[in-house]
Each structure stands twice: as structure tokens, then as C-alpha cells.
């Protein structure tokens, strides 16, 4: 049994290492596709949304969900929130934007960050 546990741990560890680069690979594919579409439509500027305070907003939503599911038990709320955070995929938006910016300069396309109001057009920020 000890040998089987050792082999299982090695397999799990190997899978973990392979998955760690998956996010970077997906970001590169997405950036490439976005820039390909930009070239097809002959755009000169790509405006990406600036996500201010996204981490605190997400944390507040997780906490609200925990309080709703388990109304009076603080310790169980903390455990629920921790388990929920583990289940929810954390996507590196910044890494995607960096990939877009890095490849867009080669194509002569400018990338700007802007905020999206609730209604109307994107507001560019310098």
C-alpha cells in the first residue's frame, strides 16, 4: 500500500506541474485570437476594461454567499468561504492583458485601458 500511495502522489504532483502552465497557454491563445480579429477589422486601438478593486469585490461576494448559506455560524462561514474560493477558478486577467500588449506592439496596435460606465461608452484613462 505504501508503494501505491507513493506512485499516486507522484502522479498527482506531475499533473499539478503540467496544469500550472495551462493558464499561460490559454492566455497566449486568447491574445493571439483577439489580435487576429483586430487585424481583420483593421483597428488601430484596442480598449480593455480596467478592473479596479476586483479582488475586494469578489471577496465581498464570497462572504455574502457564505452568510446567506450559513446564517449564524461564523466558523462554518469561514470554512464555506475557503472551500468556495478553492473551487472557483482564479483567472489572471492581468497576464492576459500583458500578452495582448506585448504582441500588439509588434503589429502597430495600441492597447488602452478604460473604465466602462453603467451606460454609454468606455472612458479612456491615461
Integer Cα distance of 17 and 40 in angstroms: 36
Query: Could you tell me which residues come within 8 angstroms of residue 97 by beta carbon, excluding any fewer than 6 positions away?
Result: 48, 111, 113
Q: What percent of the chain has pLDDT over 90?
A: 26
Integer Cα distance of 62 and 49 in angstroms: 23
The pTM of the full predicted model, rounded to 2 decimals, is: 0.58
From first to last of the 126 residues of the chain, give the pLDDT tens digit: 777 777 777 666 544 445 567 888 989 999 999 999 999 999 999 998 877 766 777 788 888 888 888 888 889 888 888 887 776 656 678 889 999 999 999 999 999 988 766 566 655 555
If one counts the domains in the chain, the total is 1
Stretch (H or E) spanning 17 = helix 2-20
- Residues 45, 110 contacting (CB under 8 angstroms): yes
Integer Cα distance of 103 and 109 in angstroms: 9
- Residues 27, 93 contacting (CB under 8 angstroms): no
| pLDDT attached to residue 17 | 46
| pLDDT attached to residue 102 | 93
**Structural domain span for residue 44:** 2-125
Amino acid at each position: 500500500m505504501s508503494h501505491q500511495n507513493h506512485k499516486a502522489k507522484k502522479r498527482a504532483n506531475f499533473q499539478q506541474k503540467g496544469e500550472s502552465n495551462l493558464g499561460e497557454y490559454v492566455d497566449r491563445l486568447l491574445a493571439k485570437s483577439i489580435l487576429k480579429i483586430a487585424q481583420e477589422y483593421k483597428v488601430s486601438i484596442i480598449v480593455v476594461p480596467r478592473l479596479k478593486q476586483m479582488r475586494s469585490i469578489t471577496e465581498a461576494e464570497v462572504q455574502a454567499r457564505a452568510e446567506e448559506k450559513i446564517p449564524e455560524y461564523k466558523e462554518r462561514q469561514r470554512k464555506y468561504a475557503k472551500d468556495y474560493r478553492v473551487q472557483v477558478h482564479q483567472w489572471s486577467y492581468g497576464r492576459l492583458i500583458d500578452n495582448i500588449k506585448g504582441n500588439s506592439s509588434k503589429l502597430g496596435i495600441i492597447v488602452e485601458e478604460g473604465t466602462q460606465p453603467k451606460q454609454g461608452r468606455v472612458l479612456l484613462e491615461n
